[in-house]
Structure 1
Amino acid sequence: MRLSNRNGKPLYSFIYSLVGIIFILGIIAYILEINKFDVFGNKAWVLLAVPAILFLLLYILGRPVFEYDSDGEALNFRNNHILYLLSKKNAKDEFPKYKLLKFNFVNGFIFRRLYIYISSKKNHVTILKYDISYLSRKQVKDLKFSLNKVIKTNRETRQEDNTD
């Protein structure tokens, strides 16, 4: 199964650009407020706070582009950011399906995260984290269905191996 929200990338770019413009205009308005106009008085900090909160919200939501592919013998996860300034934590992981142990969805008030638990060398467990805040409910449901299918297949395979 393939899942991607790459088609929403222009919308996400527009939103990030709009928030960037609002932030720059907020800084300019704050400087003009302090030096020239004095309309807000002691409340001039609001001109910086509102754009900063919007930018912080986008930062908390995480990386907007998520791609998942379970075709073949491997699971592919890709989680990218639109802004190059914030792209240092782009995630691109590929591993065999049999290594998937379990997964967990975390639904925060503002954000959603996907935690993937895979077995690594020497029976250690590695946790991979992905931002899925920008996925629709149907996409999350399809992702959950696909991952449950892989885990069910892995359990059946392990049971067959243990009985042999």
Structure 2
Amino acid sequence: MRFTNKNEIKIIPSIYTVLVAIFVTNIFVNLELMGSDEPINFSHYVPNIVVVILAIYVHRVGQAFDFDSDGETLNLKNNGVFFSKFMEYRVKKAEFPKRKLGKYRFSDYFFYSALTIYISSRRRRGFKKYTFNTTFLTRKKKKGMLSSLDKILEKSKATA
């Protein structure tokens, strides 16, 4: 099965643009207030603080996610969104045979969801851990991905 969130993340660059516009507008408002006789309070800076926190959140979770379990290998990939048409940045990928999938854990919170996979290795003891951001996957795609991972685990345990 193949899943991607390319359609869902198309809104991320627009959100960046709106947040930058709000930030710059509030900076100009604060500069105008500095020129007047009115004292500047902390409450004048609160909108910029909120916008910076939102921008950090959007930057953190706004990632493209690709999942491919067709064939003999399992491919998972996270990539940044904003400059993704020009270059790959913030890339995290894992490509490995399905038999090496040891276990997985899916964390789904209200504002963030992540898939953590554990890959077994013959050279190292234990598992190698990869975490992928799946926040902008739809609920239907998340369920399909988890059922695909369950099938892979069942098949690998049956052959072992």
The aligned residue for residue 141 of structure 1 is: 143
Q: Compared with structure 1, are the counterparts of its residues 42 and 96 closer, same or farther at alpha carbon in structure 2 (3 Å cutoff)?
A: closer
1:52: which partner in 2?
52
- Deviation string 1:99-156 (CA, Å, 9 cap, x unpaired) is 1011101123421111001012233310001001111111110110110011111100
What's 1:13 paired with?
A: 13
Secondary structure class of the residue paired with 2:52: helix
Q: Which residue of 1 aligns with 2:35?
A: 35
Maintained 8 Å contact 2:9/2:136 = no
SS in 2 for 1:122: coil
Mapped partners of 1:112, 1:18: distance in 2: 24
Superposed, 1:78-97 pairs within 5 Å as 78-84=77-83, 89-97=90-98
- Alpha-carbon distance between aligned partners in 2 of 1:83 and 1:20, rounded to the nearest angstrom: 13
TM-score, normalised to structure 1, is: 0.82
Judge conservation of contact 2:79–2:89 (CA < 8 Å) in 1. no
Select the structure with the greater relative contact order (CA < 8 A; seq sep ≥ 6).
2
Note if contact 2:4-2:65 (Cα within 8 Å) is conserved in structure 1.
Answer: yes
Q: Residue 73 in 1 paired to residue 72 in 2?
A: yes
Mark the runs of 5 or more structure 2 residues left unpaired by the alignment: none
Partner of 1:105: 106
Equivalent position SS for 1:6? coil
Question: Does the aligned pair in 2 maintain the 1:113–1:130 contact within 8 Å?
Answer: yes
Q: Which has the higher helix share?
A: 1
Task: Write the distance in 2 (CA, Å) between the matches of 1:77 and 1:51.
Answer: 31
Helix, strand or coil at the partner of 1:89: coil
Q: Report the aligned-residue RMSD.
A: 2.2
- TM-score (normalizing by structure 2): 0.84
Tell me by how many angstroms 1:19 deviates.
1.9
Match of 1:104, SS state, is: strand
Which region of structure 1 is more displaced relative to structure 2, 37-46 or 68-77? 37-46
Which of 126, 131, 134 is the aligned partner of 2:133?
Answer: 131
Conserved in 1, the CA contact under 8 Å of 2:118 and 2:127?
yes
Closer/same/farther in 2, CA of residues 37 and 146 from structure 1, 3 Å limit: farther
Percent identity reads: 30
- CA pair 129-94 structure 1, distance change in 2 beyond 3 A: same
Give me the whole-angstrom Cα distance separating, in 1, the residues matched to 2:8 and 2:132. 17
SS of equivalent residue, structure 1 residue 56:
helix
